[in-house]
Structure formats: C-alpha cells, structure tokens
Amino acid sequence: MSKPIRILSDHLVNQIAAGEVVERPASVVKELIENSLDAGCTRLEIDVEQGGSKRLRVRDDGRGIPPDQLALALARHATSKLAELADLEAVGTLGFRGEALPSIASVSRLTLTSRVRPDPDDALSDRAGDSAWEVAVALDGRLDGPRPAAHPPGTSVEVRDLFFNTPARRKFLRTEKTEFDHVEQVVRRLALARPEVALELRHNGRVVHQLPAADGRPEAVQARLDLLLGAGFSEQSLDIDVSAVDLRLSGWVRRPAFSRSQPDQQFFYVNGRLIRDRLVSHAIRQAFSDFLHQARHPAYVLFLELPPRLVDVNVHPAKHEVRFRESRQVHDFIQRALQRRLSQGSLGAVDTADV
Ligand code: ADP
Ligand code: MG
C-alpha cells in the first residue's frame, strides 16, 4: 500500500538542507563569518568550546538586524542579498541562498542577538539602534522572542550542542582537536582574504589568533600572512599583481625553493571566495612545473578577480565550486602570469633584489 504524498514541514526541510551546508562545527563558523563579512563588519570575535560541538559564537560589529527582521533571518529562503534572478548574475556577497541560519538552527540550539549599527546616512536605521534584541530557537523549532538583550552594535550568533537532535550526524564528529583544526582552517582562509577585518579566535578560553586590522600598508598585510602561515612566509614569497582585459591575478607565491612537502598552503580566491577548482590547480601546477621538483607542492595565496557575469558561483550550496564562462582563457591567464613571475623571481634570487 503506498503512502500518501505530503509536504514536509519547514523544520524537516531545514534539517535535510542542513545535510548539505552543515557538515561540522567548521562549516557553521564559515557560514557565520561570511554573514558577518557581508554585514560589513570591521572586527570579528570567534569563540569556540570543545572543538565547536559544545558551543561556538561569532560576534561582529556589522550593520546588525532590526528586531522585526530577526525571525525572518532564521526563516528558510529569506535573504537580504538577492531579490531577483538577475542579481544572481552579479552576486557581490558571500551568501545569497538564505539557507545557512535556518539550516544551522534546525540542528542546534541557536541564539541570534543583534543591535542595529547607527548609520548617519540612513534615517531609518536608528529606529531600534539604541537597544539590542535576541531570538532563540526552541526545541520544537519555534522561535522564542524577540526579547531585549545586552549587546553592542552588531550581531552575535551562538550555536550550542550541534547535532544534538540528529545523533547519526553527531556520530561523525571527530575529536575535539580535529574539529578545532577544521575551524582554524576556515578562519585562516577567511582571514587571508580580508586583512582589513580585525579578528580574534579563541578555543576553550585561550586566544589562538589575534589579528589586528591591516590598514592599506603592504607590511601590515604581510604581518598577517606571517601570523597565519608561519613567520617567513612573506619574506620567502614573490608578490604578484597582473591584469589582462577582464582578469586580475594578485597575491603571493612562495619561491620554489620554499615549496612544501604537503599541499597545505594553497589558497585560491575568486572574487574573494575561496574555491577549489581542477582547472585552476592545473594552471598553477603547469606554471610551477619548470621550477619545482615533482614531489614538492607549491604554496600560494592568490586572488583572481573578474566580472561576476564571467563566473557562476551557484554550483553547490557550500559554494566551494565555480564555473568559469571562459575557462580556457582563465586557465592560460593564470598559468602565464605565474610563469612570468616565477622566472623573474628566480633571476631576482641571484640578484637578491626583486623588482
Ligand atoms: P544568506 O547569507 O544567504 O542571505 P543566511 O541564512 O546566512 O542567508 O542569513 C539570512 C539573512 O540574515 C541575511 O541575508 C542577512 O540579512 C541576515 N544576517 C545573517 N547574519 C547576519 C549578520 N551577522 N549581520 C547582519 N545580518 C545578518
Ligand atoms: Mg549566509
């Protein structure tokens, strides 16, 4: 006997979607930091307990959420970043699917606290800017609040007991150390891309990273690179900044002599978003092939910028993948730009002065 067709409850739909977006504490941290960056924050505090599975909190000083929109922020397919299909062709924000908060909330105990940042140019923004409000998600998925809370301008999201209601997923969590290593890696990736945002990461009360905001000076950015990738990174690297018609590649590559035995320092961003892409990896490997021993791995922090219409980021919910419209052109541009810089760099090494 067949069962009747039914429409799934929102709560269940969110839990199913959470399977795609929320794999472990680190994926929660990624989504929350991306929201903070999209909110234009200048500082971020990330507080993690027991690898993040017990409790994690991301606090920012971004523009905040008005109290009448707190519930909406937790609703499925609710976003302030996209209004029509045409916007998808030119997404400038890290998020746009309106899935992260409801998904996370469906598999944890989540509290969202926010206070609107007063904006002198916007008369509407201070309608609630002098107080903070909070909503919590109750066990059955219903919302508690909004109720008044204490919070400086900006937003905090606290996530406790991740996967408490989905034991099968909870079982896949690894040791506290492994989970925290993943969190740290996520923080590192975002911190490399956004040096102008001050950041503090704490684990079990201990400060793991404390990164001041880098002003425009190259030394300030280099200091951040060294804090995140080990002292000496910037000194051992060649900087690169090459533009072609629609494409710009900038960042740093470690000189081949300082390549790695592991592929553990490979950070490639497309319009500010860290991605993994076979085509890009291939172009980089090709560029290094004349300079590097087979068993060694190049190390780099590279940023590719191109008009949003030339790249599709809506390939997977976690947005690690992209599709380039002109993939051949992108491949060859990256390969040539790096090859040229590496051959200049090896001359420079003899001369010690790199220009
Ligand atoms: P998305 O980021 O795809 O829009 P989310 O579920 O991550 O979806 O967030 C939903 C909405 O909640 C966002 O569009 C934004 O308006 C608001 N929001 C979430 N986090 C923050 C934050 N830290 N500061 C300000 N607004 C936020
Ligand atoms: Mg988001």
For range 59-78, the mean pLDDT: 94
CB-ligand 1 contact for 15 (6 Å cutoff): no
Question: Which of 211, 226, 260 is the endpoint of a domain?
Answer: 211
Residue 306 located in a structural domain: yes
Are the C-beta atoms of 212 and 229 separated by less than 8 Å? no
Residue with CA nearest ligand 1 atom 23: 36
Q: Do 251 and 328 belong together in one domain?
A: yes
Contacts of 154 (CB under 8 A, 6+ apart): 39, 41, 59, 60, 61, 62, 64, 114, 115, 117
191 CA to centre of ligand 1 in angstroms = 19
Does the C-beta of 80 come closer than 6 Å to ligand 1? yes
- Closest ligand 1 atom to 73 CA: 12
pLDDT band at 78 (very low <50, low <70, confident <90, very high): confident
Whether the CB of 35 sits within 6 Å of ligand 1: yes
* CA–CA gap between residue 170 and residue 163 (Å, rounded): 5
The predicted-structure confidence for 134-169, as pLDDT tens digits, reads as follows 999 987 778 999 999 999 999 999 999 999 999 988
Its domain, for residue 284, covers: 236-351
The pLDDT, as a whole number, for residue 348 is 47
Is residue 204 located within the same domain as residue 240?
no
Q: What percent of the chain has pLDDT over 70?
A: 94
Q: Is residue 220 part of a domain?
A: no
Question: Which of 160, 177, 211 is the last residue in one of the domains?
Answer: 211
Whether residues 256 and 191 share a domain: the answer is no
CATH of the domain at 335: 3.30.230.10
Residue 109 contacts residue 137 (beta carbons within 8 Å) = yes
Ligand closest to Cα of 115 equals 1
pTM above 0.95, yes or no: no
Residue 250 lies in a domain: yes
| pLDDT number for residue 300 | 97
Using omega within 30 degrees of 0 as the cis cutoff, is the peptide bond preceding 146 cis? yes
Which segment of 155-164, 165-174, 329-338 scores lowest on mean pLDDT? 165-174
**pLDDT above 90: residue 49:** yes
54 within domain boundaries: yes
pLDDT of residue 349: 42
Q: Confirm whether 226 is domain-assigned.
A: no
If one residue of 13, 27, 35 were mutated to test the ligand 1 pocket, choosing by the most ligand atoms within 8 A of its CB, it would be: 35
Tracing tokens 């945002």 back to the chain, one arrives at 197
Domain membership of residue 37 (yes or no) is: yes
CATH number at residue 109: 3.30.565.10
Residue 90 pLDDT: 72
Counting every residue, how long is the chain?
355
* Ligand number nearest to the C-alpha of 74: 1
Rounded average pLDDT over 183-202: 97
Looking at the fold, whether 178 and 254 belong to one and the same domain comes out as: no
**pLDDT over 50 (residue 334):** yes
Closest atom, ligand 1, to C-alpha of 64: 25
Question: Are residues 82 and 185 located together in one domain of the fold?
Answer: yes
Same-domain status, 80 and 128: yes
Ligand 1 site, residue 37, Cβ cutoff 6 A: no
Computed from CA positions of residues 286, 290, 295, 299, in that sequence, does the dihedral angle turn out positive or negative? negative
42 and 149 housed in the same domain: yes
172 and 23, same domain (yes or no): yes
**Do 125 and 196 belong together in one domain?**
yes
C-beta of 95 in contact with ligand 1 (< 6 A): yes
**Is there a single domain that holds both residue 189 and residue 264?**
no
- Rounded to the nearest angstrom, the distance between the alpha carbon of 94 and the centre of ligand 1 is 10
Residue 315 has pLDDT above 90, yes or no: no
Gap from CA of 126 to ligand 2 centroid (Å) = 24
Q: Are residues 84 and 180 in the same domain?
A: yes
267 CA distance to ligand 1 middle (Å): 25
Least Cα distance to 31 among 122, 95, 96 occurs for 95
Q: Is-contact 212 200, C-beta < 8 A? A: no
With a 6 A CB cut-off, is 65 part of the ligand 1 pocket? Answer: yes
Top pLDDT among 205 and 119 is at 205
Mutate to test the pocket of ligand 1, among 22, 38, 42, 94 (most ligand atoms within 8 A of CB): 38
Question: Which of 194, 211, 228 is the endpoint of a domain?
Answer: 211
- With a 6 Å cutoff on the Cβ, whether 39 touches ligand 1 is yes
In a domain, 135, yes or no: yes
Q: Into how many domains does the chain fold?
A: 2
354 has pLDDT over 50: no
Quote the pLDDT of residue 129.
Answer: 58
Residues 273 and 313: beta-carbon distance below 8 Å: yes
Minimum CA distance residue for ligand 1 atom 7: 100
What does the mean pLDDT of the chain come to? 90
User: Looking at the domain assignment, is residue 45 inside a domain?
Assistant: yes
Q: Mark whether 246 and 149 lie in a shared domain.
A: no
Q: What is the pLDDT of residue 125?
A: 52
Q: What are the contacts of 144-151 at 24+ separation with CB within 8 A?
A: 145/70, 146/67, 146/70, 146/71, 149/113, 151/113, 151/114, 151/115
